[in-house]
Amino acid sequence: MAELMGSWKRDKLCAEVTEQDIGKELTLMGWVARVRNMGGILFVWLRDRSGMIQLVFDANHMDGKTYELAESLRSEYVLAVKGSVIMRDASAVNQQLKTGTIEVQVKEAKLLNESATPPIYTDDSVNENEAVRLKYRYLDLRRPSMQNMLMLRSKTINAIRLHMINSGFVEVETPIMTKSTPEGARDFLVPSRLHPKKFYALPQSPQIYKQLLMLAGLDRYFQFAKCFRDEDSRADRQPEFTQLDLEMSFVEPKDVQDTVEGAFKAVFKEIKGLEIKLPLPRMTWKEAMVSYGSDKPDLRFGLKITEHSEWAADCGFSIFESAVKNNGIVCAIKVDGAGANLSRKDMDALGEFVKTYHVKGLAWLAVNEDGSYRSSFAKFIPEEKMSVLLEILQAKPTDAIFLIADQKLTALNAMGQLRVKLGKQLNLIDATKDQLLWITEFPLLEWNEETKRYTAAHHPFTMPMEEDFDLLDTHPEMVRAKSYDLVYNGVEMGSGSIRIHASELQERMFNWLGFTHEEAWERFGFLLEAFRYGTPPHGGFAFGIDRLMMLLTGTDSLRDVIAFPKVQNASCLMMDTPSLVHEEQLTQLHLKTLK
Ligand code: ASP
């Protein structure tokens, strides 16, 4: 039977008790983690979020009723005890526990609550099925690893908030029930009871609000913002996630980047005890694509891509030659020492791998110890021409060389994917490194083959680079944006840009994106109107807190760093959401579901 706490007041968390407390009488409360009954003496581990402490129930030191209570204890019962802290015998010291040199000699106890037998273990020793863990998430969160993660997340948010406040930012909350924002995903919609047939959209980000806050004169805004994007499920996506969202007035990219870098520095110091060197390195999008085949290059290892179109133009191998003739490229990476380790079968598997990135195939060459080589393509090319290539690439015995020929971005992207695969497969990545870098000057627009229209590469509020203004009407695809991404160990942490702050340019931008004057005003009229009233130059950034936590805790699942996550099909196994609602609710919302 559950008892009330009455006048008992907890003195400390379980693992906060130390040798300094020896001789003191303390009141402790927590969950029963483990019971060992030695007959006449009972050892109980009491647990809370701080850790555990051993309680000793000795039949000779307490009344019969208390000992009886101790004998009834089961895992996860909620217990309060009063007792004195004593030193353990040297032979009984437990190095695994933070409180392993001490224990509490119990005098009185209250059973605050019983517990049914939990469907999952609440310690970290057992690997439970994830679906069951998520169904009983409240029990799963009792596991020390999950509690540590939540405490670490709180500390991380705190470090960031402190940095932002100290840098002169104002924290402002923006609405969750809003209008669609153009981050490029599908919206979650909320039907309106008061306005039949009308819907609110959940924000994909507070983008428009934060720009309006700059117009309002807030100067520096930040928020830990919940964002909602109805995207098709992917392992590393959640339909709702948290971003640190910020915006600043009268700034250039470097000012925004400095603020974001400062936040990362604060987090790395607080959480990992590491000093990151600032400013972080910067690389243009073009350089990243050409040298690493990715707009989020992992620089913890080499394998730089090199281009050999000039050599390939008349190399004798028709596949290479025609790629170059059709304005494509031939690019390569060289992997020191890999020639000796990769078999023919490995090469074939890598060939299949690159084909999934829309290139026709992979040409490879492995230099043997004696300088001779095995190759998938050398037989098509005269020997002297091959020697030239090997010389350009400075190939040595045991090196492996991979070549891809295709349209420029297709070839580079496939090569970039191959680079990362080889980096992992051949253990070339230094996992102890923390590599942060900025990628800058992204293309402003992307061509969408399906809609035969340009779309904004970042979002439609991004400012083109002044140097490229003239290209906007003639070569829109060549225009670079004042945008920047922060990349950490090959993962995109966030993006931002300097924004367009003039109404006319913003409207022209909407036109480039295919909106007519009327459409632009219908969707974004409030913004175009607002921009007429003295909008300061401004820019900002947002980065994913969940993704940051993933990297800080070294897990590869977003679900591990969110207290109550959704699974791949966007449902919550614990609350069983989404769920059906009463017919009456639908009627109030003027909705009918199709049978
Ligand atoms: N709103 C953008 C995003 O969520 C970030 C930004 O441009 O500030 O990606």
What distance in angstroms lies between residue 259's CA and the mean position of ligand 1's atoms? 15
Please state, in angstroms and rounded to a whole number, the distance separating the CA atoms of residues 537 and 406.
41
Query: Which range scores top for mean pLDDT: 290-304, 465-479, 504-518?
Result: 290-304
Determine the pLDDT at residue 235.
64
Measure the CA dihedral 575/577/580/586, to 10°.
120
Q: Is 496 in the pocket of ligand 1 (CB under 6 A)?
A: yes
Model-level pTM?
Answer: 0.92
Determine the pLDDT at residue 473.
85
Q: Report pLDDT digits (tens) over 171-209.
A: 999 999 998 776 778 999 999 999 999 999 999 999 999
Please state, in angstroms and rounded to a whole number, the distance separating the CA atoms of residues 376 and 364.
6
Residue located nearest, by CA, to atom 8 of ligand 1:
541
Determine the pLDDT at residue 507.
87
Give the residue, out of 228, 242, 243, with the most ligand 1 atoms within 8 A of its beta carbon, to mutate for a pocket test: 243
**2.60.40.1250, 2.120.10.30, 2.40.50.140, 3.40.50.300: CATH of 14-113:** 2.40.50.140
What phi and psi values does residue 456 have, to the nearest 5 degrees?
Answer: -70, 130
Structure token pair of residue 258: 């400095």
What distance in angstroms lies between residue 137's CA and the mean position of ligand 1's atoms? 31
Q: Is 203 in the pocket of ligand 1 (CB under 6 A)?
A: no
Give 372-399 as a 3 state SS string: CEEECCHHHCCHHHHHHHHHHCCCCCCC
For residue 537, pLDDT over 90 is answered with yes
Domain ranges of the chain: 14-113, 128-280+537-595, 301-425
The percent of residues in the chain predicted with pLDDT above 70, rounded, is: 99
Judged by average pLDDT, the poorest of 256-260, 494-498, 579-583 is 579-583
Query: Looking at residues 50-57, what average pLDDT do you find?
Result: 97
Determine the pLDDT at residue 43.
97
Q: Is 497 in the pocket of ligand 1 (CB under 6 A)?
A: yes
Instruction: From residue 482, give the alpha-carbon distance in Å to each of 57, 218, 303, 500.
Output: 68, 22, 29, 10
Q: Which atom of ligand 1 is nearest to the CA of 461?
A: 7
Determine the pLDDT at residue 512.
84
Give the residue, out of 229, 444, 495, 499, with the most ligand 1 atoms within 8 A of its beta carbon, to mutate for a pocket test: 495
What distance in angstroms lies between residue 376's CA and the mean position of ligand 1's atoms? 45
What phi and psi values does residue 283 have, to the nearest 5 degrees?
Answer: -145, 140
Give the residue, out of 246, 459, 498, 543, with the most ligand 1 atoms within 8 A of its beta carbon, to mutate for a pocket test: 459
Q: Is 488 in the pocket of ligand 1 (CB under 6 A)?
A: no
Tell the CATH topology of 128-280+537-595.
Answer: BirA Bifunctional Protein; domain 2 (3.30.930)
Buried b (16+ CB within 10 A) or exposed e, 303-327: bebebbbebbeebebebbbebbeee
Q: Is 225 in the pocket of ligand 1 (CB under 6 A)?
A: no
Question: Which residues share a beta bridge with 504?
Answer: none
For the domain 301-425, what is the CATH superfamily, name and number? GAD-like domain (3.30.1360.30)
What distance in angstroms lies between residue 569's CA and the mean position of ligand 1's atoms? 25
First to last CA, the chain: 49
Give the residue, out of 207, 462, 498, with the most ligand 1 atoms within 8 A of its beta carbon, to mutate for a pocket test: 207
Do 544 and 264 form a contact (C-beta atoms < 8 A)?
no
Q: Is 207 in the pocket of ligand 1 (CB under 6 A)?
A: yes
Q: Report pLDDT digits (tens) over 275-287.
A: 999 999 999 999 9
Confidence band of 29 (pLDDT split at 50, 70, 90): very high
Q: Report pLDDT digits (tens) over 135-153.
A: 999 999 999 999 999 999 9
Q: Report pLDDT digits (tens) over 251-282.
A: 999 999 999 999 999 999 999 999 999 999 99
**What is the overall mean pLDDT for the chain?**
94
Residue located nearest, by CA, to atom 7 of ligand 1:
496
Confidence band of 234 (pLDDT split at 50, 70, 90): low
Q: Is 205 in the pocket of ligand 1 (CB under 6 A)?
A: yes
Determine the pLDDT at residue 233.
67
The DSSP output letter for 225 is E
Q: Which atom of ligand 1 is nearest to the CA of 483?
A: 7
Residue located nearest, by CA, to atom 1 of ligand 1:
207
What distance in angstroms lies between residue 21's CA and the mean position of ligand 1's atoms? 51
For residue 458, pLDDT over 90 is answered with no
Determine the pLDDT at residue 2.
85
* For residue 578, cis peptide bond before it (omega within 30 degrees of 0): yes
Structure token pair of residue 567: 């699974």
What distance in angstroms lies between residue 482's CA and the mean position of ligand 1's atoms? 13
What distance in angstroms lies between residue 541's CA and the mean position of ligand 1's atoms? 6
Q: Is 73 in the pocket of ligand 1 (CB under 6 A)?
A: no
The DSSP output letter for 499 is B
Q: Rounded to the nearest 5 degrees, what angle is found at the Cα of 95, between the Cα atoms of 88 and 101? A: 25
Q: Are strands 51-58 and 102-113 parallel, antiparallel or unpaired?
A: parallel
- Which residues, at least 6 apart from 473, have a Cβ–Cβ distance to it below 8 Å? none
Return the SS3 of 150: helix
Of the candidates 149, 271, 118, the one whose C-alpha atom is nearest the C-alpha of residue 559 is 149
For residue 404, pLDDT over 90 is answered with yes
What distance in angstroms lies between residue 494's CA and the mean position of ligand 1's atoms? 8
